[in-house]
Amino acid sequence: MHISEGVLSAPVLLAGGAGTILGLAIGLRCMNVREIPKVALLTAAFFVASLVHVPIGPSSAHLVLNGILGILLGWTAFPAIFIGLFFQAVLFQFGGLTTLGVNTLNMAVPAVIMGALARPALRSNSGLFAMVMTAIAGAGAIIMSAVMVAGSLALSGESFVAVSKLIFVAHIPIAIAEGVLSVLIISFLLKTKPEVIKGNMHSRAAKLGLVSIIIIPILIGICSQAHAHRVNLFAWYDGKMILAEGYFSGGNKAMDSAILVYDSGGKEVFHGMTDKKGEFSFKPPGNGEYRLVLEAGMGHRAEALVSVQDLESGTAAPEAGQAGPQTAERPELKGTVTLTGTEFEQILDSKLNPIKEQLLRLAEQGDRVGFRDVVAGLGYIAGLMGLAMYLTQRKRKK
């Protein structure tokens, strides 16, 4: 569940740190001075319990228990998780100091949300409903954390998408085990010392709205970024050859990637590799529509359609990206002027194609940077708000 040092990108680290500062400020504000020893001892207990390895099938996993932490502590789960991770970073070098913010956020936000979800149910006297909600909270907190961990990785670079998927899948059995354990632990606490759960419920949930406004966009951003990377293929016909160029949304050329060419009947007519510039060319065997598929490893795949007509006279029919097939119009003025429509079109296309490509590339790059900036910006806003809240709290104390 911990992300190590040196993996995440700076905007992700900053956004995580800012979110955690905000959460800590709220958590500390919710905590009364007289609750300090209690919260501290629960923190210590969670730290101890998280060292327990529970057998799951053939392997075992250590407990996280952030769902229960949320149920018992509410917003105070933020400082509790922060301290637990701080100890682990300093003592065992698990996680790390630069990733402390992101790691805390990834575990504490699910804790707070799931806690707020299960508490009303536990307060009500319906036994079964309460237990169902507890199971959802226990398992849901792990699933949510796994999604957030995967998201922070995916947001840091498209290379991590496969790793993040692996992490998510690995957490599913842990989530089920935690769900079962949460129900057992909470029902034990309800039987032995119900005031632990029923007693400490102040109106903490009311403040949930405020922060979810700030934190949830970050979450959504993290999730949506995972789909933002893709590979593009541009292909056109220059009269003799079909030319194609593949590159990733970041601007890198798709070098040495396999390209398959299918004809309109779906039959493979050619397969080859792109060169060092990400370019590819081949001579079409005849007129017709060709579908080019670029495979750049691990789900990076792009398609483009090129229609080849008039193989001899050389009519160009450019197609960009995933746009649908479009046949070049038959020139009406053919033969009447020196510059025929076909030639004119051909010249225009040869001039415009690179520009079109450049434009699309720029648009995508702009998109990408803008998005990261937004996430980082949200982080800054959250951090500043946290600072403001901290200062007002200090002022109030004086």
Partner 1 sequence: MTCERFASGKSILHSADPRVKILLAGGYAVVTVGLGSLEGQVLALSGSLLLVMAARLSLKEVFHRLLVVNLFILMLWFILPWTTPGTGVTHFGPIMITAEGLDLALSISLKCNAIILANLALLSTSTIFSLAHALAHFRVPTKMVQLIFFSWRYFHVIDSEFHRMKQAIKVRGFEPGSNLHTYRTYAYLIGTLFIKSLERGERVYKAMLCRGFDGTFWLLSHFRLHQRDIYLAGFTSAYLFLIIGVEWINPCR
Site for partner 1 in 40-99 (CB under 8 A): 40-45, 47-49, 52, 54-57, 63, 65, 72, 79-80, 83, 86-87, 89-94, 96-98
Q: Is 28 one of the binding residues for partner 1 (CB under 8 A)?
A: yes
Q: Which is nearer to partner 1, 255 or 311 (CB)?
A: 255
Q: Is 176 one of the binding residues for partner 1 (CB under 8 A)?
A: no
- Least Å distance, CB 333 to partner 1, is 45
- Least Å distance, CB 55 to partner 1, is 5
Structure tokens at 278: 């990400």
Among 230, 293, 291, 231, which Cα is nearest to 259's? Answer: 293
Structure tokens at 129: 């409903």
Q: Which is nearer to partner 1, 53 or 283 (CB)?
A: 53
Among 114, 200, 109, which Cα is nearest to 148's? Answer: 109
Span 372-391, contacts to partner 1 by CB under 8 A: 390
Q: Is 20 one of the binding residues for partner 1 (CB under 8 A)?
A: no
Q: Is 39 one of the binding residues for partner 1 (CB under 8 A)?
A: yes
Q: Is 1 one of the binding residues for partner 1 (CB under 8 A)?
A: no
Q: Which is nearer to partner 1, 43 or 315 (CB)?
A: 43
**In the block, residue with structure tokens 């300090």:** 36
Amino acid letter for position 342: T
Q: Is 352 one of the binding residues for partner 1 (CB under 8 A)?
A: no
d(CA 181, CA 178): 5
Q: What is the DSSP string of 207-222?
A: GHHHHHHHHHHHHHHH
Q: Which is nearer to partner 1, 10 or 220 (CB)?
A: 10
Q: Which of 1, 7, 133, 144 binds partner 1 (CB under 8 A)?
A: 7
Q: Which of 1, 64, 141, 177 binds partner 1 (CB under 8 A)?
A: 177
Q: Is 304 one of the binding residues for partner 1 (CB under 8 A)?
A: no
d(CA 308, CA 284): 8
- Least Å distance, CB 344 to partner 1, is 38
- Least Å distance, CB 296 to partner 1, is 5
Q: Which is nearer to partner 1, 10 or 347 (CB)?
A: 10
Q: Which is nearer to partner 1, 75 or 237 (CB)?
A: 75
Among 300, 304, 230, 298, which Cα is nearest to 260's? Answer: 304
Q: Is 185 one of the binding residues for partner 1 (CB under 8 A)?
A: yes
d(CA 189, CA 196): 7
Q: Is 181 one of the binding residues for partner 1 (CB under 8 A)?
A: yes
Q: Which of 180, 243, 374, 387 binds partner 1 (CB under 8 A)?
A: 180
Amino acid letter for position 127: G
Q: Is 184 one of the binding residues for partner 1 (CB under 8 A)?
A: yes
Q: Which of 62, 126, 127, 188 binds partner 1 (CB under 8 A)?
A: 188
Q: Is 392 one of the binding residues for partner 1 (CB under 8 A)?
A: no
Q: Which is nearer to partner 1, 44 or 311 (CB)?
A: 44
Q: Is 159 one of the binding residues for partner 1 (CB under 8 A)?
A: yes
Among 151, 111, 161, which Cα is nearest to 12's? Answer: 151
Q: Which is nearer to partner 1, 120 or 297 (CB)?
A: 297
95 three-state secondary structure = coil
Span 194-253, contacts to partner 1 by CB under 8 A: 196, 231, 248, 252
Burial of 96 (0-12, 13-18, 19+ CB in 10 A): buried
Helices 208-225 & 341-397 angle (0-180, nearest 10): 150
Q: Is 395 one of the binding residues for partner 1 (CB under 8 A)?
A: no
Structure tokens at 222: 């993290």
Span 95-124, contacts to partner 1 by CB under 8 A: 96-98
**In the block, residue with structure tokens 């390209």:** 259
- Is residue 138 within 8 Å of 120, Cβ to Cβ? no
Among 230, 227, 220, 181, which Cα is nearest to 69's? Answer: 181
Mention every residue, 6+ apart, whose C-beta is less than 8 A from residue 390: 25
The residues with which 279 forms a beta bridge, in sequence order, are: 245
Q: Which is nearer to partner 1, 47 or 371 (CB)?
A: 47
